[in-house]
Chains A and B, each alone.
Chain A
Amino acid sequence: MTAAMKETGNYQPYSYFQLMEVSLRELLVEKGVVTEAQVEATVEDIRNRTPERGARVVAHAWTNPQFKGKLLADGTKACEELGLDVPALKLVVVENTPAVHNMVVCTLCSCYPRMLLGLPPDWYKSRNYRSRAVREPRAVLSEFGLELSRKIKIRVHDSTADMRYLVLPMRPAGTEGWSEERLASIVTRDCMIGVAVPKLI
């Protein structure tokens, strides 16, 4: 029986999908389609994409109005300026204001700005979130602990085609004079999906 060592240090049989992954990968390597090194490099690259990238973009926009302008006009180009390559997708950055709150969903599948936020959380891919975010966004937000006044308009972005969305949250009061690094530390993944707002820790 093919087995793999789990994090517990014990060998356990592969699950169905693990076995499928290993078989397919070994076959592709054997046929010379890809090399083991290429697969490892790609996995490494995916692991390196974390929400800290997006937080860096937000913190920079908070401290640099000129950059913020560029980010809202052309997200992809502005990120390139920060050395963040966002290929094969067009990034649309949507800004929260005292009058408008933005949230992102992909009702058709799980489109997500992976280059800036990494892999999407499981709830983002769930049928529950995907179907309810467009129909009752306020109820969904309240389940995330975010109660918004009815005076604030909610703008839901359904990522159905080639665009990817990042929410630019409002900079909280009390962060005057903070460094970009410190600002970035309060910008969580959920803030950039639009199901949370940054809070002072």
Chain B
Amino acid sequence: MKAYPLGHIRTPFYIRGHSGIVERLCGAFGNPEELAQMRSGEPKQPLYRVRFLQKELWPDYRGSAEDVVEVEIFQHWLE
């Protein structure tokens, strides 16, 4: 799975455009784009935890090649 390089503000910049693996489906939660407009957040959107390898995010990463970071991203912000 790949996050949009442009992307929603709540998709951290450091993972945009990178590929990761879905760690788990967290459930469905109010859509932040709707909640931000003081609307109900419906329909709820599936939220995933996506795992990224650190060495793929940071070219100069110094640590174990297996170190990871896990980020929550809504389904409609993934591609």
Contact call A138/B63, Cβ cutoff below 8 A: yes
The proximity string for B residues 6-44 relative to A, scoring 1 for CB distances below 8 Å and 0 otherwise, is: 000011101000000000001101001000000000000
- Asked if A49 is at the interface (CB within 8 A of a chain B CB), the reply is no
Does A125 lie at the interface of the complex (its beta carbon under 8 Å from any beta carbon of B)?
no
Interface membership of chain A positions 146-186, coded 1 if the CB is closer than 8 angstroms to chain B and 0 otherwise: 00001111111111111100000000000000000000000
B49: A residues at CB distance < 8 A: 92, 163
Give the chain B neighbours of A82 by CB distance below 8 A.
Answer: none
Is the CB–CB distance between A107 and B12 below 8 Å? yes
Return the contact of B58 from the options A135, A159, A160 (Cβ within 8 A): A135
Instruction: Please judge, given known A-B contacts A136-B62, A161-B32, A161-B72, whether A153 and B67 are in contact too, CB under 8 Å.
Output: yes
Q: Nearest residue in A to B15 (C-beta to C-beta)?
A: A158
Is A160 touching B71 in the complex (CB atoms < 8 A)?
yes
Q: Is the interface of A mostly helix, strand, loop or mixed?
A: mixed
Task: List chain A residues, Cβ under 8 A from B57.
Answer: 134
Contact A153 B47 (CB under 8 A): no
Across the interface, do A154 and B73 meet the contact criterion of CB distance under 8 Å?
no
Contacts of A154 in B (CB 8 A): 54, 63-64, 67-68
Asked whether any CB of chain A lies closer than 8 Å to the CB of B1, the reply is no
- Bound: A176/B77 CA distance, A: 47
Report the separation of the CA atoms of residues A157 and B72 in the bound assembly, to the nearest whole angstrom: 9
| Count, chain A residues at interface, CB 8 A | 23
CB neighbours of B71 from chain A (8 A): 158, 160
B72/A155 in contact, CB under 8 A: no
Is A90 close to B, CB under 8 A?
yes
CB distance from A91 to the nearest CB of B (A): 11
Chain A interfacial positions (CB closer than 8 Å to B): 90, 92, 107-108, 134-138, 150-163
Provide a sorted-by-A list of 28 A–B residue pairs whose CB atoms are within 8 angstroms. Answer: A90-B26, A90-B27, A108-B10, A134-B12, A134-B69, A136-B63, A137-B67, A138-B63, A138-B67, A150-B63, A151-B64, A153-B68, A154-B64, A156-B67, A156-B70, A157-B69, A158-B12, A158-B69, A158-B71, A159-B72, A160-B10, A160-B11, A160-B12, A160-B73, A161-B26, A161-B29, A163-B26, A163-B47
Chain B interface (Cβ within 8 Å of chain A)? 10-12, 14, 26-27, 29, 32, 47, 49, 54, 57-58, 61-64, 66-74
A151-B64, A158-B70, A158-B72 given; 7 more Cβ-contact pairs under 8 Å: A107-B12, A154-B64, A156-B54, A160-B10, A160-B72, A161-B10, A163-B49
